[in-house]
Structure 1
């Protein structure tokens, strides 16, 4: 038996494995992996001497924790194909967006412990925020171990499953929106004489520092609006730009993006 089996070692599954091994939380002998396309694992295998199973069923039989890193449309066929390989009831951990605990349970033996996790793309640099929900068959010890695994690629938060769609928008979708925000600021910088690379580096560092400042100040009771007020001098440049952003619909557009992502997640979960 191995502690963790991973089926689907693409960008997300690979990031999780890399984070666990780089942090020292697990060793290569603790992990067994399988990916349908072996070439997708080449970079990971060059970095770590991983054990690679001949098929997905072998991983399911051998693992105490079974991480399903496949895309959402592949999850149900995979579970159905695994069949008897799941009889040992490993703790199943799914990162498939839009697939609820009930959806997954419908294709597993009765009373299988299941954990649903929503990481984000920043897992690639061990800076994810991962939402975690579990069914009633997952013990506190097992849930804690899953949290520890995902803490290796960032931070974790226990999230009631009914809030998973909102969490997916706030944490899973938002990196793309933040990337677009960074790019828009950088484009404005180009208009004022910077190269695109220079402008992007300046803005990205400003965004990174601002995010860290928010996290630093939250325990002291200073929310982001309080930090905005600190920066906005009366009749200054910052408040002028802020008012221009709001006149162009910045906050309204941001809330609309979250609402649209939540609505789409709910559509996908019922399709």
Structure 2
């Protein structure tokens, strides 16, 4: 038996495997992977000598923890196909967006431990923010081990499943919105004479540093508004730009994006 079996090694599944192996959290011999396209596995095979299974059934039969890296629409047919291979009830981990625990349980043997995880795209560079929820059959030890796995690709938070829609908006969708913010500022830099790559690099570093500053100051009790007040000198350029952003609807637009994403998530999940 292997510690972790992975079925579906796309961008996210591959990032998780790479994070686990690069951090030393798991050794190559503790992971068994399968993907319908062998091409997606070649770099992991070459770099880490990652064992590859001939089929999904072998992975399911041998895994203590089973990560399902398939798209949401692929969960039901995959689990139906694997029914006979899941009788030992591995701890199943789903990263399928918009697919609640109850819907996945319908396709698993009764009382199978199931953990739902929502990582984000920054897992590709080891900087994900992953939300984790579990059903009643997951032991405290198993939940701790799953959390440790995902902390190899960033940070984690235990989230009540009823709050997964808002977590998905704040952590799963927001990277795209931040990318748009960065690109918009960089475009203004180009308009003022900078090259696009140079402007993008400047803005991205400023955003990265600002995010770290927020995290560093949360424990001392300084919220983002407090940091804004530190930067805004009376009559200065920063407050002038900030007021222009607010006049253009920046804060309401940001909140609207969150509310729209939450609504869409609930529509897709049927909740």
2:110 corresponding residue in structure 1: 110
Separation in 1, partners of 2:222, 2:19: 32
1:42 corresponding residue in structure 2: 42
Query: Which sections of structure 1, spanning at least 5 residues, go unmatched?
Result: none
Taking the TM superposition and a 5 Å limit, the aligned residue runs for 1:61-80 are 61-80=61-80
- 1:124 shift after superposition: 0.4
Separation in 1, partners of 2:46, 2:179: 30
Taking the TM superposition and a 5 Å limit, the aligned residue runs for 1:1-271 are 1-270=1-270
Which TM-score applies when normalising by structure 1? Answer: 0.99
Separation in 1, partners of 2:269, 2:82: 22
Separation in 2, partners of 1:158, 1:181: 28
Separation in 2, partners of 1:264, 1:128: 22
- Secondary structure at 2:82 match in 1: helix
- 1:46 shift after superposition: 2.0
- Secondary structure at 1:152 match in 2: helix
Separation in 1, partners of 2:36, 2:263: 32
- Secondary structure at 1:52 match in 2: coil
Query: Which sections of structure 2, spanning at least 5 residues, go unmatched?
Result: none
Separation in 1, partners of 2:192, 2:219: 38
Q: Deviations over 1:199-253 (max 9, x none)?
A: 0000000000000000000100000010001100111100010011011110111
Separation in 1, partners of 2:116, 2:254: 26
Separation in 2, partners of 1:44, 1:238: 46
Separation in 1, partners of 2:99, 2:167: 14
Which TM-score applies when normalising by structure 2? Answer: 0.99
Separation in 2, partners of 1:80, 1:62: 18
Q: Deviations over 1:172-223 (max 9, x none)?
A: 0000000000000000000011000000000000000000000000100000
- Secondary structure at 1:51 match in 2: coil
Q: Deviations over 1:129-154 (max 9, x none)?
A: 10000000000000000000000000
Separation in 2, partners of 1:186, 1:44: 35
Aligned length: 271
Structure 1: 4+ residue segments shifted above 4 A: none
RMSD: 0.8
- Secondary structure at 1:220 match in 2: coil
